[in-house]
Amino acid sequence: MKHGILLWIAAPLGVVAILAVARLARVRPMFRPLVGPFALATGAVVGLLFFGEGRFPESGWVSLVFLVPFLMLLVRGTVIAFQALFRRRQGATPPSLLDSVVSVLAYGIGLGAIAHQWFGLELTPFLATSAVVGAVVGLALQDTLGNLFAGIALHVEAPFRVGDWVRVGDRDGRIDQVSWRAMRLKTWDSDTLTLPNNEVARHAILNYSLPRSPHSRFVIVGVNYHTPPNKVISVLGNLLAQVAGVQAEPPPSVRILGYHEYTIQYEVRYYFNAYEEYRRIEGEIFRLLWYHFRRHNIEIPFPTRTVFLHQAEAAEGPKEAPATRMERALREIDLFRPLSEEELRATAARCRALHYAAGERIIEEGAAGDSFFVVDRGEVEVSKEMGGVRRSLARLMEGQFFGEMALLTGERRAATVMAATDVDLFTLDKTGFHDIIAGNPAIAVDISTILSERREALNQAEGDLTARYQPTASRGELKERILDRIRSYFGL
């Protein structure tokens, strides 16, 4: 009677316990491996009460029906506890290899205890025999076992994770997989490199992805001895500000490495977030380096002597010199119409040639300036901030110009001009034009007349697209205002 009451109580409680564990597994997925073994263990307890009247069976083989579910429950519980402990200490889920090792060890200990307790097997001779067999197998599988234990050590220490960029010996790559035998890397050439775990464990491992904060690299640039170091450092700093991917914090740095046989060497150190971006960033730095150095007359010397032998080609005429092209371009600009032939040639001689890469910013809206530009080759794009949105106003091509108001009156730039393609420009600044206008002040009157006519006829998106448009009541007032600003600016 008492046994029957106990059975009727245990059966519903077992069902409720199974449902509770299933519900817990839905809320916490980490407990899902426990549902099956718990249901089997609960069924074994109910079966023990029903068939054995609460007494454990005497037969060892029959007892396995009840012991195996409990062993499975115990092993899976041990694995879950190991995962929680590993996650707490390492901050990540343990690899499947370690879970498998813990499971095998727990099953081995549990099955050994069952064999000794319920089947009366003496484990000492078995362990001694196993030691001999293990020594033989260990010698035969030395490399394989070495890979296994090296893999376990790598997983426990966790010096890297899948997805990290690492250097192992002289090999670089991104980790795709770490198994019990080997580690698989994806190289820069998108090839797969498989390294045995024992070889990985014997080498120093450089993890490019840790820590996760910005990483730094550097490039070395050699410059001749004629250029002041402060100028080189300033140009390199401006260059780095235009390279996408270079972090502003920590800021990039430029320092002198030393004085060498024919160059002063500079170290350009920059910071970035994603390691796989460094090749693109370095390529962009070297690409812009040529344009920036060319514009600022900075030479990268070469320790070689190069002899060029040119054979004259009868079909090809002489090339037009840059100074001649500049003089011809100035003749076609109405702004310089009041200049005499001698003054025009002197102005052209004071112009400098500049080279910009596609996408580089030539002038910035709102910035101060005193330079006038003529497009020699290529195209530039003019844009302006309007209502919080940057709008493109025009594209200027060969022979067109911009920036005359900055040259003549010192006005701030009213638009941004960027190189739409690789572009060659001629530029003339206040210093180069000062002697011309100071030697013939009457030019200022003629130029102010031309500027007032242009301002009266052109809107904001035409003519001098980098000047601010200010409507006035009459052309005479506008001319006088411009003339006063020219005289004041040049001290006439």
pLDDT tens sequence across 338-376 = 788 888 888 888 888 888 988 888 988 888 888 889 898
How many other CB atoms are found less than 10 A from the CB of residue 127?
A: 11
Element (H, E) at 218: strand 215-223
Report the number of distinct structural domains present in the chain.
4
In this structure, the answer to whether residues 116 and 265 fall within a common structural domain is no
| Position 160 in a domain | yes
The pLDDT value recorded for residue 29 is 74
In this structure, the answer to whether residues 172 and 283 fall within a common structural domain is no
In this structure, the answer to whether residues 239 and 288 fall within a common structural domain is yes
Q: Tell me the residue ranges of DSSP E strands in 234-379.
A: 253-259, 264-272, 352-356, 361-363, 371-377
How many other CB atoms are found less than 10 A from the CB of residue 181?
A: 17
Question: The domain spanning residue 439 has which CATH number?
Answer: 2.60.120.10
**What's the pTM?**
0.57
Q: Which residue has the tokens 């089947």?
A: 119
| Position 133 in a domain | no
Alpha carbon distances (Å) from 375 to 17, 370, 390, 424, 475: 84, 17, 23, 6, 29
| Position 12 in a domain | yes
The pLDDT value recorded for residue 51 is 57
Inter-residue contact 239 to 245 (CB < 8 Å): no
In this structure, the answer to whether residues 113 and 22 fall within a common structural domain is yes
The pLDDT value recorded for residue 232 is 92
As a whole number of angstroms, the distance between CA 180 and CA 183 comes to: 9
How many other CB atoms are found less than 10 A from the CB of residue 391?
A: 12
| Position 337 in a domain | yes
Q: What is the DSSP letter of 179?
A: -
Q: Can you give the residue range of the structural domain that contains 268?
A: 215-295
The pLDDT value recorded for residue 463 is 44
Question: The domain spanning residue 184 has which CATH number?
Answer: 2.30.30.60
In this structure, the answer to whether residues 263 and 350 fall within a common structural domain is no
| Position 300 in a domain | no
256, 254, 156, 273: which is closest to 211 by C-alpha?
Answer: 273
In this structure, the answer to whether residues 355 and 479 fall within a common structural domain is yes
Inter-residue contact 347 to 440 (CB < 8 Å): no
| Position 36 in a domain | yes
| Position 364 in a domain | yes
Find the Cα–Cα–Cα–Cα dihedral 273, 276, 279, 280, rounded to 10°.
-70
How many other CB atoms are found less than 10 A from the CB of residue 417?
A: 26
Q: What is the DSSP letter of 423?
A: E
469, 474, 485: which is closest to 408 by C-alpha?
Answer: 485
The pLDDT value recorded for residue 350 is 84
Rounded (5°) CA angle 42-47-52:
135
Residues constituting the chain: 492
| Position 138 in a domain | no
In this structure, the answer to whether residues 352 and 473 fall within a common structural domain is yes
Residue 366 class from Cβ within 10 Å (0-12 exposed, 13-18 middle, 19+ buried)?
exposed
As a whole number of angstroms, the distance between CA 83 and CA 101 comes to: 12
Question: The domain spanning residue 237 has which CATH number?
Answer: 3.30.70.100
Element (H, E) at 399: none
Inter-residue contact 301 to 232 (CB < 8 Å): no
> At what angle are helices 142-157 and 123-140 packed, to 10 degrees?
100
The pLDDT value recorded for residue 7 is 56
Tokens of 141: 């599988």
In this structure, the answer to whether residues 341 and 482 fall within a common structural domain is yes
As a whole number of angstroms, the distance between CA 300 and CA 262 comes to: 10
How many other CB atoms are found less than 10 A from the CB of residue 203?
A: 13
As a whole number of angstroms, the distance between CA 158 and CA 176 comes to: 15
The pLDDT value recorded for residue 58 is 57
User: Over the stretch 121-176, which tens digit does the pLDDT of each residue have?
Assistant: 666 665 555 554 454 444 444 455 555 555 555 555 566 778 888 888 788 888 88
The pLDDT value recorded for residue 130 is 53
Q: What is the DSSP letter of 251?
A: P
143, 123, 122, 145: which is closest to 134 by C-alpha?
Answer: 145
In this structure, the answer to whether residues 70 and 106 fall within a common structural domain is yes
In this structure, the answer to whether residues 35 and 93 fall within a common structural domain is yes
In this structure, the answer to whether residues 16 and 159 fall within a common structural domain is no
Inter-residue contact 374 to 425 (CB < 8 Å): yes
The pLDDT value recorded for residue 289 is 92
> Which ranges of 385-460 does DSSP label H, i.e. alpha helix?
404-409, 430-439, 442-457
Residues of the chain with pLDDT under 50: 1-2, 132-133, 135-142, 304, 459-463, 465, 467, 469, 471-473
- Which of 121, 138, 170 lies at the terminal end of a domain, its last residue? 121
As a whole number of angstroms, the distance between CA 392 and CA 385 comes to: 9
The pLDDT value recorded for residue 340 is 81
**CB neighbour list of residue 200: distance below 8 Å, 6 or more residues apart:** 150, 154, 168, 183
- Which of 72, 103, 121 lies at the terminal end of a domain, its last residue? 121
Alpha carbon distances (Å) from 138 to 142, 390, 424: 5, 72, 73
In this structure, the answer to whether residues 200 and 224 fall within a common structural domain is no
